[in-house]
Structure 1
Amino acid sequence: MNAAHSPGATRDPGGLGNAAAPRFALPLIVLHWLIALGIIAMLGIGLYMVGLPKGLPFKSTVINFHKSLGMTVFLLVLIRIMARMAYGRPPLPPMRAWQRAAASITQGLLYVGMVAMPLTGYLGSSFNKYGTKFWGLALPQWGWDDAHLRHVFFTIHGVIAWVMIGLIVLHFAGAMKHQLIDRDGLVRRMFP
């Protein structure tokens, strides 16, 4: 047990945690926050655009922006996965086994969602006549105009979106528990 968690150790009330606590490497921190902002934007735009009536002039602009931003976030996620393998992660503070398991499962599912969501969106777009443009550049279309397959992939895409919202809430709630209740410096790992 380290000094910060030994009996009688001084806590850091109101702070971000122990300033000496190990942190993620700066590239991982930057990628975490860029991806987090991108995903939150994507979810907001996605929920907004599905409610737009068909034939609305700017709907295709919103959809194309959603696709381009989604592919950008997907590329950042792939870079983050490689960076995580290269840099590793700092050790977790002492916590109960169920908390460690819950954090591991939540993070694992977030990674699965961050990969599956853009792939299902891209595949859904591949089964229509419009395809996907990445900031104006047409990407390869892996399918043909097929309403049934498009519906299948977009349904999976939508389900993953709601699962991701739940996982983000759990991830945030866990971080706030560590910050406000445990005050164990866990949140500090994700700040430069």
Structure 2
Amino acid sequence: MAATTVTKYSRAIRILHWVLALLLIGLLIAGTIMHNTADEATKFAILKLHAPLGLLAGILLFARTYFAFTQPRPAADPNWSLAVKWGSKIIHILLYVFPHALVGSGIATMVASGLGEILQSGQTAPWPELSGIAFAGAHGLFAKLFLASLVLHIAGAIYHQAIIKDNLIARMMPGK
């Protein structure tokens, strides 16, 4: 019996892709606002959402990673150039690595800075000094690197849809 050609990602992968896309973009926005405000009450209010949503993103990322290795996926188009194939592979690897690194460095920052204890106690001040916490610096760096890889991913999707016109995005769209 011949193997069936997979033309779309599995339903689980597609759902997790779009849920994580919205969640991670929201976390990037919230983190940027939190980082750029001086008002401690605002920082803590955002952190009360950012931290648990970051943990949720971590759980969903592990599920997404599991499905990526256990579910069949569409093959690369044989007409793609070697540069497009490698670029796609590298960006997709980074889109797994950087979010996992963000979750890990976020948890480490919460522990090392005392922010986790502060949140659990219900306090809203004082905001700890994070400049001496290596994990906080790493978290900021991973956020920037993730954002850059996300922009390249979106640019690649637009390139495939508008320039190559291969309807690549249909592989990740909802539906049957």
Query: Structure 2 length normalisation: TM-score?
Result: 0.84
Q: Does 1:34 align with 2:19?
A: yes
Q: Does 1:185 align with 2:167?
A: yes
Q: C-alpha deviations, 1:12-59, integer Å up to 9, x for none?
A: xxxxxxxx981101110000000011110010000001112143x242
SS in 2 for 1:131: helix
Cross-structure match for 2:125: none
Give yes or no for contact 1:178–1:184 (8 Å, CA) kept in 2.
yes
Q: Does 1:72 align with 2:59?
A: no
Cα distance between partner residues in 2 of 1:137 and 1:76: 23
Cross-structure match for 1:60: 44
- Structure holding more helix per residue: 2
Cross-structure match for 1:45: 30
Counterparts of 1:87-106 in structure 2 under 5 Å? Answer: 87-94=71-78, 95-106=80-91
Cross-structure match for 1:143: none
TM-fit CA distance, 1:157: 0.4
Cα distance between partner residues in 2 of 1:26 and 1:48: 33
Query: Which is higher, the Rg of structure 1 or of structure 2?
Result: 1
Cross-structure match for 2:137: 155
Q: C-alpha deviations, 1:75-119, integer Å up to 9, x for none?
A: 101001111222131112230011100110111111100110110
SS in 1 for 2:7: coil
TM-fit CA distance, 1:148: 7.6
For structure 1, the 5+ residue unaligned runs are 1-19, 139-145
Once superposed, what is the RMSD of the aligned Cα atoms? 2.4
How many percent of aligned residue pairs carry the same amino acid? Answer: 27
Query: Structure 1 runs of 4+ off > 2 angstroms?
Result: 146-150
SS in 1 for 2:133: helix
Cα distance between partner residues in 1 of 2:117 and 2:62: 19
For structure 2, the 5+ residue unaligned runs are 122-127
Cross-structure match for 1:15: none
SS in 2 for 1:90: coil
In structure 2, give the amino acid aligned to 1:125. Answer: M
Q: Does 1:118 align with 2:103?
A: yes
